[in-house]
Structure 1
Amino acid sequence: MKARKALPPVLAAVMAASLAAGCSDKGGEAGATPKTGERAKDVNTTGFPIVKEPIKLTVFAARADSAPVNWNEVEIWKEYAKMTNVTVDWQLSPASDAAALTQKRNVLMASGDLPDFFHTARFSTTDIANYGSQGLLIPLNDLIDKYAPNVKKLFETNPEVKKGLTMPDGKIYSLPTFYDPSFRSVVIGSEFWINKKFLDALGMKEPTTTEEYYQYLKAVKTQDPNKNGKNDEIPFAASGVLGGIGIVDALKGAWGLGNHGNTHGRVDMDPKTNKLRFEPADPGYKELLEYLNRLYKEDLFIPDIMTIKGPEMLAKGKEGLYGSFVHINEKSSFGTDTNSYVGMTALKGPHGDQVFSRARSPLIDIGAFAISNKNKYPEATIRWVDYFYSEEGSKMFFMGIKDKSYVEKPDGTLDYSDELKKDKEAQKKYVTFAGGFYPAMLTKKTYFGGESFPENQEAVKKIDPYYPKEVWPAFTYTQEELARFTPLTNDINKYVDEMTVKFIMGNAPFSEWDNYLATLKKMGLDDYMKIYTAAYERYKK
């Protein structure tokens, strides 16, 4: 499972949209939306095969570095073609460079030469709204109603999913990556870990407040808890933006921020006014940055935390020097098994606030699947993907082929086959889910990645009492709103990113805080929040 936090969620969406805005809409004129029903008589509404006569579909998919190189040769897709009479030609594009992927996808959309559908294509909410309104992606509402019983069931049991997928025009153009909400450790992803062996050596209890956490970090830095006579311990470690900005997300709940989760990153609900709040303009945000500035000045972070890359941070973790870190867990992150780390609770702040601010919506990726206007078989295509929102389909998508890549025990539980246990790389022969962003339902029964480990389950138990009661998925915006909202979001988030880092590093004194707030206002923060509020009101309805 990929732990991702490359950009604030809204910023990531609007960056993609800004590229799309420059593209021509000729693709929408080039091919009218297929008339669903022309070939519906050849589609079985239940069971397999999906179609009576074989068909072939082309698909654009983004391949993570950890996924197989050629999906046409992966066992589940060969087996699924036999089951369904639907052969998929996987046209893969590297996902390692997000900007390059976005540009390639947008050029494809502008060309009008579209594949039949998109899978793991990493469309943002804004992309879906843009391309849907242009007619490049077809509405799925009627198709779901007639041909996607598993998606319909998902909507019924998790109404926020349907709300999150429905665009302002009332149409659904995409299907999501969905994590079972009860599988909270995988919904959260990366956890906040603390070194239990260091705590024991220092004679300290697990910190429950921000001040206790500071005292622990200071002790790790100065009291040689690994007893090697060297000053080599690293109190806190994370990588790049996750370290520089991610520490904000990890700790802001101690100042009451992030009370509706972190899908929106910088907007939550002000409990005093019951109105949306821009977190980086709140007094609590200033106090948080002052706290982080103290940690930074006292050298309690990994060196170069603002720029260090993930592989370097993880490689350093093998040395057992971290007092605390943010990532999946020790085994998955570092490849070591010293049993040194335990999950931290949500810390209580100076005013008594204690919120787990890194909660995510189980609607992980809204743009995991979409059908283009060139698809001649939309009924068969929606049936093809619907299977992976069922328990059996989830089992196949994540585990592969029964009695080859996994076995089913008499009690119904699943386990990897001996082949996969001996060689983790063998998984690439059977499944393609590595890297995330897939259209499927992930459950505790069918996923055995690092987030499912017992230590992650224990960490969740500490977090549960402080988990937000309601976690918002991404909101949606009209085309008229986006014309104003996109540039506002780009400019405001860029400025907040820059100033957050400067305040933490001490390159901007806190005496400049009022000027910082005034600049946000000049940049159009009021308009930004008005548009955000309109989107929130639509979501509530």
Structure 2
Amino acid sequence: MKSNKWRYGFLSGVLAFSILSGCTNEEASKEKSESAVKVNKTGMPIADEKIELTGFAGKFFASQDWNKLKLWEEYAKMSNVEIDWETVQVDSLKEKRNLLLASGEYPDVLFSSALPKADLIKYGQQGVLLKLNDLIDQYAPNFKKIMEENPVVAKGITMPDGSIYGFPTIYDPEFKGLHLGTPWINKNWLEKLGLEEPQNLDDFHKVLKAFKAEDPNGNGKADEIPWSGAYGIGEAIGFIKGSFGLNNHGSANAYIDLAPGSNNLRFTPASDEYKEMLEYLHKLYKDGLIDKEIFTADPQAFTAKASDGAFGVINGLDPETIYQLKGYVGTPVLKGPKGDQMLTSMGSPLGNIGMFVITDKNKNPEATIRWIDHFYGDEGTKMFFMGFEGVTYEEKNGEFEYTENMTKNPDGLNLDQALSEYLTWPGGYYPGIVKEKYFKGAEGKPATKENALKSEPYALKQEDIWPAFNFSPEEQEELSTISTDITTYVDEMTASFISGKTSLSKWEDYVQTLKQMNLDRYMEIYESGYKNYKK
């Protein structure tokens, strides 16, 4: 096993960093190719001669020792590539990662370390992170296939300088339950009150009003809460936006879409359509149809309240899976006042694009690319998410399910805790691709599939969904400052308008304040990101 001296050599970091920054990616790659172990281009092992690498990673469970974890032990046997891991919990990941990179004493790879875009391009241009374009082309057939089949992935991971510096989390576009769906409506209440499923915003208002006034739970008390959710008003807004034509290219660039009938970017929270949406939601709130506690939502408190069976419409995942509440189905995508009927609260297939990077310390980048590419293929995905047959999962009739030792752990561990004794994915930080076949959360349950299929005719087409735009380091730094103030203000005022704390007669004052917050420059930077995307 390699020495761990890279973990502790921060004293000479500044000098080392300045020297390394002057070296180009091409020079570094050439030097490493000359000293690399011969790599087998297909199959396992990756190399006949054992390769040892150092790695840094973020983890969720303090008890995990990645150097003794079955996932990495078994993969090392398969691949003949062994990684000496240094891990930190995600709570301190950002601080540790930044210190590590700035010191100049960093490992061969950073895994599940969630590098932001600004760092990818900053350290990529300095030569600290290797440019991966050619390496992917030659040594990553699984990932290359994904990019070819999903151009949004290739566009989303390519920096403005044309380079790719990191591997992302990908949510398979074919996994409908991850991308499609609407809030859940109580079918039993509809039937009891003789109501049809709502088809437009007026219908929805009438149904919620009936839920509140007509005692559908039959307990003789006015305790029904027509519409609520565990994670705040944002989920409700996401559902309603498409009825007002907002977010017509998805939600990855939260406040940016195209103005109707044009190719001009629009800042949605300052648009007339957004104001109309707020007027509608304020009407629901004023009539007591939206949970009064939704602005201070607490998931644990919501879960406890859900057991009372008082909710008519619930945002989020399948209530039967999450709250053991039966009888809920997907709410139809609603038609708005101008005929808009779209499901637009859809992100791109890309999660964080800096989940795996290779540094210029790495003497075997070709082998390392092959190592990570395995987890973008079918067998690697199965091993990463399901683990090991007979230990963490069983296969029955072509279906994969976790063993009872995982789902009903004898030591009282929940599923994530039990799996974390063998695997690293519980908690959510990882490079790789999430596929329905190997992902066993609520998103893959039958009810969620039905909800997704029901909403699919009104969903944006994959080719129309934008990834989060990429910017130059200078633009990203400037945008971060402006965006923090604008986002905070938009969120505060959106809640204030809906609740009635601020009258919508103050709308022009709100828009003017946004302009004073440098909204014009914010949009200029997004225009630059949009041009990069189209290019």
Give secondary structure in 2 for the equivalent of 1:415: strand
Cα distance between partner residues in 1 of 2:174 and 2:369:
26
* Partner residue in 1 for 2:127: 135
What pairs with 1:437-452 in structure 2 (closer than 5 Å)?
437-452=429-444
Match of 1:94 among 68, 75, 89: 89
- For the 8 Å contact 1:147–1:379, the answer to whether it is kept is yes
Give secondary structure in 2 for the equivalent of 1:122: coil
Deviations 1:65-124 (A, max 9, x none): 6x97333443222211111122233433333x5xx5433432333223323222222223
The yes-or-no answer on 1:218 pairing with 2:209 is: yes
What pairs with 1:203-214 in structure 2 (closer than 5 Å)?
203-214=194-205
- For the 8 Å contact 1:28–1:134, the answer to whether it is kept is no
The TM-score with structure 2 as length reference comes to 0.89
TM-superposed CA distance for 1:181, in Å, is: 1.0
Give secondary structure in 2 for the equivalent of 1:362: coil
> Which letter does structure 2 place at the counterpart of 1:467?
A
Cα distance between partner residues in 1 of 2:63 and 2:321:
19
* Partner residue in 1 for 2:53: 57
TM-superposed CA distance for 1:390, in Å, is: 0.6
Give secondary structure in 1 for the equivalent of 2:206: helix
The yes-or-no answer on 1:84 pairing with 2:70 is: no
Deviations 1:218-270 (A, max 9, x none): 2222222111122222222223xx41233222211110001111111111111
Counterparts in 2 of 1:89 and 1:301: CA distance versus 1, 3 Å:
farther
Which 4+ stretches in 1 moved above 4 angstroms?
A: 24-28
- For the 8 Å contact 2:17–2:103, the answer to whether it is kept is no
* Partner residue in 1 for 2:6: none
* Partner residue in 2 for 1:427: 419
TM-superposed CA distance for 1:63, in Å, is: 2.5
Greater shift in the superposed pair: 150-159 or 37-46? 37-46
Match of 1:197 among 173, 188, 198: 188
TM-superposed CA distance for 1:477, in Å, is: 0.5
TM-superposed CA distance for 1:321, in Å, is: 1.8
Match of 2:401 among 390, 398, 415: 415
* Partner residue in 2 for 1:505: 499
Structure number with bigger Rg: 2
Match of 2:226 among 231, 235, 246: 235
Match of 2:528 among 520, 524, 534: 534
Counterparts in 2 of 1:216 and 1:58: CA distance versus 1, 3 Å:
farther
Give secondary structure in 2 for the equivalent of 1:295: helix
Counterparts in 2 of 1:324 and 1:62: CA distance versus 1, 3 Å:
farther
The TM-score with structure 1 as length reference comes to 0.88
Greater shift in the superposed pair: 131-140 or 356-365? 131-140
Cα distance between partner residues in 2 of 1:387 and 1:68:
26
* Partner residue in 2 for 1:17: none
* Partner residue in 2 for 1:6: none
The yes-or-no answer on 1:457 pairing with 2:449 is: yes
- For the 8 Å contact 1:195–1:340, the answer to whether it is kept is yes
* Partner residue in 2 for 1:379: 366
What pairs with 1:259-274 in structure 2 (closer than 5 Å)?
259-274=248-263
Match of 1:75 among 53, 70, 79: 70
Greater shift in the superposed pair: 307-316 or 421-430? 421-430
* Partner residue in 2 for 1:47: 43
* Partner residue in 2 for 1:157: 149
Cα distance between partner residues in 2 of 1:49 and 1:212:
61
TM-superposed CA distance for 1:26, in Å, is: 6.9
* Partner residue in 1 for 2:10: none
TM-superposed CA distance for 1:27, in Å, is: 7.0
> Which letter does structure 2 place at the counterpart of 1:47?
G
* Partner residue in 1 for 2:459: 467
The yes-or-no answer on 1:186 pairing with 2:181 is: no
TM-superposed CA distance for 1:165, in Å, is: 0.7
Identity of aligned residues (%): 44
Cα distance between partner residues in 1 of 2:298 and 2:81:
41
RMSD over aligned CA atoms reads 2.3
* Partner residue in 1 for 2:110: 118
TM-superposed CA distance for 1:42, in Å, is: 2.9
Give secondary structure in 2 for the equivalent of 1:62: strand
TM-superposed CA distance for 1:182, in Å, is: 1.3
> Which letter does structure 2 place at the counterpart of 1:94?
Q
> Which letter does structure 2 place at the counterpart of 1:57?
L
The yes-or-no answer on 1:494 pairing with 2:488 is: yes
TM-superposed CA distance for 1:175, in Å, is: 0.8
Deviations 1:245-300 (A, max 9, x none): 33222211110001111111111111222211111011010111112222222333
* Partner residue in 2 for 1:276: 265
TM-superposed CA distance for 1:451, in Å, is: 0.3
TM-superposed CA distance for 1:515, in Å, is: 1.2
> Which letter does structure 2 place at the counterpart of 1:178?
I
Deviations 1:33-79 (A, max 9, x none): 643313434322222222333333333322236x9733344322221
> Which letter does structure 2 place at the counterpart of 1:118?
L
- For the 8 Å contact 1:327–1:333, the answer to whether it is kept is no
Deviations 1:423-476 (A, max 9, x none): 335333332212323211222222222100000110011111111121111111
Cα distance between partner residues in 2 of 1:418 and 1:486:
46
Cα distance between partner residues in 2 of 1:436 and 1:70:
17
- For the 8 Å contact 2:251–2:347, the answer to whether it is kept is yes
Match of 1:293 among 266, 282, 286: 282
Deviations 1:377-404 (A, max 9, x none): 3222211110011111111111111333
> Which letter does structure 2 place at the counterpart of 1:235?
P
* Partner residue in 2 for 1:517: 511
- For the 8 Å contact 1:255–1:350, the answer to whether it is kept is yes
* Partner residue in 2 for 1:20: none
Counterparts in 2 of 1:511 and 1:378: CA distance versus 1, 3 Å:
same
- For the 8 Å contact 2:245–2:273, the answer to whether it is kept is yes
Deviations 1:328-362 (A, max 9, x none): 2123322x1x4221112221112211111211211
Deviations 1:150-180 (A, max 9, x none): 1111122222211111101111001111122
> Which letter does structure 2 place at the counterpart of 1:150?
N
> Which letter does structure 2 place at the counterpart of 1:468?
L
Match of 2:33 among 20, 23, 37: 37
Give secondary structure in 1 for the equivalent of 2:487: helix
- For the 8 Å contact 2:250–2:466, the answer to whether it is kept is yes
Cα distance between partner residues in 2 of 1:233 and 1:25:
62
- For the 8 Å contact 1:26–1:110, the answer to whether it is kept is no
Match of 2:304 among 295, 309, 315: 315
Cα distance between partner residues in 2 of 1:373 and 1:396:
29
* Partner residue in 1 for 2:339: 352
TM-superposed CA distance for 1:418, in Å, is: 4.5
- For the 8 Å contact 1:27–1:109, the answer to whether it is kept is no
> Which letter does structure 2 place at the counterpart of 1:397?
F
Give secondary structure in 2 for the equivalent of 1:346: coil
Structure 1: gaps of 5 or more residues:
1-23
- For the 8 Å contact 1:191–1:328, the answer to whether it is kept is no
Cα distance between partner residues in 2 of 1:130 and 1:310:
37
> Which letter does structure 2 place at the counterpart of 1:523?
M
Greater shift in the superposed pair: 485-494 or 284-293? 485-494
Cα distance between partner residues in 2 of 1:191 and 1:211:
17
Cα distance between partner residues in 1 of 2:340 and 2:320:
32
